[in-house]
Chain A
Amino acid sequence: MSIFIRTFVLRYVTLLLTLGLAAPTVSADSKILATAGGQQIEGQAGGGLVPWALLAGYAEAGEWGGSVAVTGVRVDDFDLRVTGAAVNFGNRFEASIASQQLKVQPLNLSIDQDILAMKWRVGGHVLYGNLPAVTVGAQAKWVRDFAIPELLGAADDHGIDFTASASKLWLNALFGRNVFANVTLRHTEANQTGLLGFGATDGSGPSWVAEGSVALFLNHHWALGAEYRQKPDHLAAVKEDDWRDVFLGWFPNKRFSVIAAYADLGSIAGLTDQSGFYLSLQVTQ
């Protein structure tokens, strides 16, 4: 049953967005190029692993926009696919939906997770003024295949992450180049972002974790950066490591962008040294 609901919701949002893109509305893409960011693995505007204090797509005040993205992460023993869609109202509020599928290669099975998320820009601006853009957000997650998480000691098949983020781009900051930085704090009980369930039967968690990203814009279209995502380690049976990546972002125009990365995800479900490539293709309005 749930798979039908998920497919329906995803198609519904995608259809809405497609209609929005096709409709001859007033140009809804007034943000500066690349300030839409990418779409991170939980479907929110961000880098690859970290949600940023940016809102999806190119809508400024009085406009609406959004993004649709497909992302693949291939590390030694796992293959993660993410399909996500996000809408942005007036560069103030973002709502998003994402569907994750984690293929566990050695066991030849997969774990699915769905995420509905919201983000509110409290104040500040990524480009203008002295204050960074500041957002608060929530990510509601449901893991659809609970057998393995349960076996590893997870307490719940659903949970909510709460986040607060700050983002700023400094013009002409380093060697004549623009520098971007983001810091995110997250309150979470998710194990491996929720793919291994939430909390632990021994009662550990939830906890606060910190995430950060930096990027250097080589020009208006290319950005080179790195990310770090601290992770909780609630499950007694398997160790969970912090995640990190180095990425290259390409923003040829306001309709299309690509983020390619090399990610080190450490130990996942008892399988150590999981690292590999990340690729995300995003369509924005």
Chain B
Amino acid sequence: MNTARAFLITVAAVACLASCTTTSPPQRTLYQALGEYEGIEAITDSFLGELAGNQQALPLFLNSDISRFRAQFINHLCVTANGPCTYEGDAMRETHRGMGISTAQFNSIVENLIAALEANGVPTSTQNALLQRLARHYDEIVEEPF
């Protein structure tokens, strides 16, 4: 009896939490939810700031042109969020071939991005929608997937 009540309370709490957070803003595209081009630029700059302190992943960027990486990352997020951009880079698999990226490094970069999204006040549902789309590239980026 008690458990049945606890279950009901949980279900009600989840339903309320979900509806309260999803119904308040009108339907927007992911691109709009990220703050359009300016928002994506700000997120990318926070992300680069986080990445600068990432000892695990930093060796991957030793030979990178950071301003070029910045432009490509912004472009990639814009395209991923169905923004008005056309993808300019190479295919994910080609870009990361031979870099020997580990799951640990991939995770550490995901966490840098989450920190950047948090720092820019991006709501949880928007973060999850973006991460869901980006996580699909895992197989193309990591050298020896799990």
Interfacial residues, chain A to chain B (CB-CB below 8 A) = 27, 30-33, 60-63, 91, 123-125, 127-129, 171-172, 174-178, 216, 218-220, 224, 226, 244-246, 262, 264, 275
Contact = CB atoms under 8 A, between A and B. Distances in A.
Contacts of B131: 171-172
A127 B128 contact: no
A246 B124 contact: no
Contacts, number: 100
Interface string B17-61: 111011000000000000000000000000000000001100000
A179 to B, nearest CB: 10
Nearest to B13: A224
Contact of A224 (B10, B128, B135): B10
B55 A218 contact: no
Size class of the B contact interface (CB-based, 8 Å): 35 or more
A30 B107 contact: yes
Given A27-B55, A60-B103, A262 B6 contact: yes
Nearest to B104: A30
A17 to B, nearest CB: 20
A30 B7 contact: no
A61 B103 contact: yes
Contacts of A30: 56, 103-105, 107-108
B116 interface: no
A226 B132 CA distance: 24
The 5 closest A-B pairs by CB, nearest first: A176-B125, A175-B18, A30-B104, A264-B3, A171-B132
A178 B10 contact: no
B18, B105, B114 pick with most chain A CB within 10 angstroms: B18
Contacts of A178: 128
A45 to B, nearest CB: 16
A246 B5 CA distance: 10
B67 interface: no
Interface of B: 2-3, 6-7, 10, 13-14, 17-19, 21-22, 55-56, 102-105, 107-108, 110-111, 114, 118, 123-126, 128-129, 131-132, 135, 138-139, 142, 144-146
B21 A172 contact: no
Contact of B114 (A220, A224, A275): A220
9 contacts: A127-B138, A129-B146, A174-B18, A175-B19, A176-B18, A176-B125, A216-B14, A224-B14, A264-B3
Contact of A32 (B22, B107, B126): B107
B19 to A, nearest CB: 7
Contacts of A127: 135, 138
A227 B124 CA distance: 25
A218 B17 contact: yes
A144 B134 CA distance: 51
Given A125-B146, A177-B18, A177-B125, 15 more contacts: A60-B103, A60-B107, A63-B104, A127-B135, A128-B145, A129-B145, A171-B132, A172-B132, A175-B21, A176-B21, A218-B124, A224-B14, A246-B6, A246-B10, A264-B2
A63 B103 CA distance: 11
A43 B19 CA distance: 36
Contacts of A33: 111
A32 B110 CA distance: 8
B107 A176 contact: no
